[in-house]
Amino acid sequence: MSVYFEKVTVLGVGLLGASIARAMKARAMCGSVTGYGRSIRNLEEAVSLGIIDEFRTSAEQACEEADLVVLSSPPAVFNSLVSSVKNSLKSGALVTDVGSVKGSMVSEIESLMPSGAHYVGSHPIAGSEKSGIADSNADLFDSALCIVTPTAKTDKDALKKITGLWVGVGAVVEIMDPFRHDEVYAAVSHFPHLLAYELVNTVAEADPGHLKYAGQGFRDTTRIAMSSPELWRDICMLNSEELIKLIAVFRKRLDSMEERLRNKEAGRIEAEFIKAAGVRKSMNPASRSHHGE
């Protein structure tokens, strides 16, 4: 399916916003791209690199005449951004986002849409611990998984077009309920980020001098602790309920492990490790369609 949007507006020109702009331009999927963001300098750089064609210093102005609006700012401001631009949206405008949290946000944004404009939530599983336009590229979504999260109210034609957008930039689309999405990604992404941040802080708290002895294992385990603190603060706040559930499961496991260490229950410790190693090995090799975070 081929989709084309004459005027695309990217609200937030970071790694994902810049990559979607580049990906659409590279594939002739749009006429022009307008950017909006907090940093004029970043927007100017994006124009000079040819990532966007122009920018506006007001989100409302940036969305006037837009055929497609992509929310790619920190996800905590999606709602307020949409509230401020909704009166600029023309009839037929489509809105999507690239946020890592969906849940109740999807129906909230949906309910803000003016007549004739439609929102469909998206979560392309792409990107990394990097966060700026310098690392953006036109092929970021190539073979990446993209979760699209319609609701019972989602316009069927809008869903088709947003699916077409992601397929067009090379992604593999999977449809998922917004709340199921948050449960899944809390487990495989949000909670692991929380653990990685806390592991680094735990070691630094124990003795910062330890860190110079860290090998590749520690480096790999904590690579995602280099991710944008602002973005992950937002994700954790928006998906706090699922995170709190996982913390409870994890804490119980950690308490059991401590008991086993105290009681020298080698066999039971090994049994847990065997279980984990088996599960983890069954995930290999890494699929190209899951190469992002």
**In the window 68-97, what residues touch a second copy (CB under 8 A)?**
76
The region, left, alpha or beta by phi > 0 then psi within -120 to 50, assigned to residue 164 is alpha
**Of 80 and 201, CB closest to a second copy:** 201
Each residue 183-202 as x (binds a second copy by CB under 8 A) or -, in order, gives xxx-xxx-xxxxxxxxxxxx
Contact flag: residue 26 with a second copy (CB under 8 A): no
Cβ of residue 173: shortest distance to a second copy, in angstroms?
Answer: 13
Contact flag: residue 222 with a second copy (CB under 8 A): yes
- Number of residues forming the site for a second copy (CB under 8 A): 92
Contact flag: residue 293 with a second copy (CB under 8 A): yes
Q: How far apart are CA 148 and CA 165, in angstroms?
A: 11
If we measure between CA atoms, which residue out of 227, 229, 145, 137 comes closest to residue 185?
145
Interface residue with a second copy among 6, 44, 157, 258 (CB under 8 A) is: 258
**Of 90 and 290, CB closest to a second copy:** 290
Contact flag: residue 240 with a second copy (CB under 8 A): yes
Write phi, then psi, for 54 (nearest 5 degrees): -160, 170
Binding range to a second copy, per CB under 8 A, among 30-38, 134-142, 156-164, 254-262: 254-262
Binding range to a second copy, per CB under 8 A, among 14-22, 56-64, 154-162, 223-231: 223-231
Enumerate residues 100-159 that contact a second copy by CB under 8 A. 125, 128, 145, 147
Please tell me the number of Cα atoms within 13 Å of 96 on its side-chain side. Answer: 29
Do 99 and 105 meet the contact criterion of CB atoms below 8 Å apart? yes
Binding range to a second copy, per CB under 8 A, among 28-36, 43-51, 155-163, 177-185: 177-185
Question: Which residue reads 């090994």 in tokens?
Answer: 270
Interface residue with a second copy among 91, 115, 152, 283 (CB under 8 A) is: 283
Q: What length does the chain have?
A: 293
For the chain, the farthest-separated pair of C-alpha atoms sits apart, in whole angstroms, at 68
**Of 28 and 188, CB closest to a second copy:** 188
Cβ of residue 85: shortest distance to a second copy, in angstroms?
Answer: 23
Cβ of residue 259: shortest distance to a second copy, in angstroms?
Answer: 10
Edge-to-edge strand ranges of the sheet holding 5-11: 54-55, 30-36, 5-11, 68-71, 94-97, 118-119
Do 6 and 67 meet the contact criterion of CB atoms below 8 Å apart? yes
Please tell me the number of Cα atoms within 13 Å of 75 on its side-chain side. Answer: 26
**Of 132 and 273, CB closest to a second copy:** 273
Do 228 and 236 meet the contact criterion of CB atoms below 8 Å apart? no
Binding range to a second copy, per CB under 8 A, among 27-35, 62-70, 107-115, 251-259: 251-259
